[in-house]
Structure formats: C-alpha cells, structure tokens
Amino acid sequence: MNMEFRRKLPIPKDIKEMFPISSEYAAEREAKVKEIEDILAGRSDKFILLIGPCSADNEEAVLDYLARLRRAQDKVEEKICIIPRVYTNKPRTTGMGYKGMLHQPDPSRNEDMLRGIVTIRETYIRAMKETGFFCADEMLYPENFWYLADILSYVAIGARSVEDQHHRMTTSGMDVPAGMKNPTSGDLSVMLNSVVAAQAAQQFIYRGWEVHTPGNPLAHTILRGATNKHGNSIPNYHYEDLVNLLNMYDQRDLQNPAVVIDANHSNSNKQYMEQIRIVKEILNSRSINTRLKTLVKGVMIESYIEPGNQKIGCTNHVYGKSITDPCLGWKESEQLIYDIYKSC
C-alpha cells in the first residue's frame, strides 16, 4: 500500500474526555434534537432554517456570525427553528484546494488534522456556550462523526457522498436528523434509496468494530439541484419538482417524509443573491399546496457576515467573507429571516 502513516490520532472517547460537555448542555442538545424531530415528524409546524457559511474557516468570525444569528432566532423562535450550518469538512470535486477546518484549522498554514479535530470540537463547544446553538455539519468522513456525535443537532450527507454505502450505514446509527442530498446527477431515486438505507437497521465495520445500528427514522431528503453532462446547472426547487418528489415519496414506505431545499449550489447556479428569490418561491409553493407544506420542512441558505467570496491569502482579506462559495451577507440574511417569518 502506497501510504505514509504519519501518526495515530486519538480515539473519539479521548477527545471527548479532553473537551467534555456538561450534563446540562447534553440535556439542552437533546431538547434541540427533539424540537427538530417534532418538525420532521409533523408534530410541529415550525419551519427549519439551516443557515451559515459555506465553510467555517475562521473560529472568531463564525462565532461573531452565530451571535448575530442568535439575536435573530430570539425574534422568530415562534415559527422558525434555526440550525446554524457550521461546515468544517469541505468536499472538493478534484480533491484539491481548501478542505475545511478539519484539514486546515488555519487556512494559511499546512494541513494538521489532529489540530483540526480539536479546533472543531472547541468551536462547537464555544458556539453552544456563547450562543446556545447546537450546530449542523456535513459528514464528509464517516469515521470522524463520532468525535462530534454528542454535540451536533443535524448532519447533512453531501451530493458526492450520498451514494456511498459507508455514509448511508453510518447515518443509520445516528441519533440526530440527517439530510441526504440528491447526487450531482440529480437522480432522485438515488437520493431516496439512500434514505431507505439510512432508515434501515444495518451491520457493518466502523472504526475497527463490527457494529449494528437500529436505523435512523429522521433521515430525509435535501434537494440541491443537479449538473447535466454539459456541466450546466439544473434546478430542482420549482413547484413541479416538489410535486414529483412528493409522488416518489408516496410510492415508498418511508418514515417521516420530509425535504429541505438547498437554495444555493446547483439550484442557484452559485449565484448567491438568487437564494433570496428561490426561498420566496419555495414558500409560495408551500402556500398553494397543503401537501407540499407538509413535505417541505425547511430551507438551507449559505450566508456569512460579508457578501460574496474571496481567495485564500488575498492581499485585502475581508473578515467574515467566504473563502469558498459566495454567500449572502448578514444584512440580506437577516432581512430574509424576517421575510420567512412573515410567510410561515
């Protein structure tokens, strides 16, 4: 095998003991997970808003953003459940470029995955203590989930990972809601098959153990648009797309049918300001079809302090501006949150 084994990383149990959470915070997390579960199961009419930076590249800027988000959440908590997306693992189409805080806790320095694991856990603990938020992350590496299993409230499985058996089976053992994105091809049957696998009991190898999982009844779908063979973006958030997904759900015996719509990526063709219009169209679709209102549980928005994006190491680095995909700025994001509140 042509690999250089550089160092053995601490097991999740050791990291959790080094950076523990109190029983009080564990109870608060359980309450947040229960709130999300009630929405997905139809016991609550609240609307889920997954919102945050494309990538959590800077701990201080992310916490600054979350503090602003907390003030907005307090104003809309009657109707909206905000789950901050603090994405610390970034899938790369070519395997090159910034792969997130896990690989580079400091984007300007070399990769250090041990420091990355520690920084991620420290960031989530600070978010919990300073803002009361329990965050969402993308599970890029199934082996890493256990480092954060006691602190996250939501997990997304990305478009490039959703067809992978290990991701699907690991999701079946989670005790938090998990959103399964449609693959980049846009094949909705692949996405729904991933939900079938995630909701089923499984037996497989995980972190050197033979494990058994009971299935995750809170696994659901995320529509993020698609890319055709010519590289063109094909959106799938329109009314007809939602009705089609509803019909596909009707043909399957799945628990808690639900979808969250990703307003960026191929749905916006990465034209980040389009997220505002897209979210409003989704809300309109829910308002004219009661079954869609039941199915569409929320939206996902890429948002940061400053609008747009910038390159890593640029001369005039802007605090709170994305170094990966472009995001809405806080001014536009805050207004959109209040617009969603009025429409729900």
- With 80 as the cut, is the pLDDT of residue 95 above it? no
- With 90 as the cut, is the pLDDT of residue 312 above it? no
Terminal C-alpha separation, the chain:
55
Please report the pLDDT score of residue 108 as a whole number. 85
Answer for the pair 189, 218: CB distance below 8 angstroms, yes or no: no
Please report the pLDDT score of residue 92 as a whole number. 78
Quick one: what percent of the chain has pLDDT higher than 70? 100
Answer for the pair 182, 205: CB distance below 8 angstroms, yes or no: no
In a 3-state reduction of DSSP, which class is residue 84? Answer: strand
Q: What is the mean pLDDT of residues 76-102?
A: 90
Go through the domains of the chain in sequence order and give each one's CATH number: 18-343 (3.20.20.70)
**Residue 299, beta-bridge partner list:** 49, 261
- With 90 as the cut, is the pLDDT of residue 327 above it? yes
Number of C-alpha atoms within 13 angstroms, CB side, residue 76? Answer: 24
Please report the pLDDT score of residue 50 as a whole number. 98
Q: What is the pLDDT of residues 111-137, one digit of tens each?
A: 999 999 999 999 999 999 999 999 999
Number of CB atoms found within 10 A of residue 53's CB: 26
- pTM of the entire predicted model: 0.96
Q: What is the mean pLDDT of the chain?
A: 96
Residues 183 and 85: their CA atoms lie apart, in Å, by 20
- Buried-exposed string 4-38: b where 16+ CB fall within 10 A, e elsewhere: eeeeeeeebeebbeebebeeebeebbeebbebbbe
Nearest to 300 by CA among 324, 265, 248: 265
Q: What is the pLDDT of residues 215-273, one digit of tens each?
A: 999 999 999 999 999 999 999 999 999 999 999 999 999 999 999 999 999 999 999 99
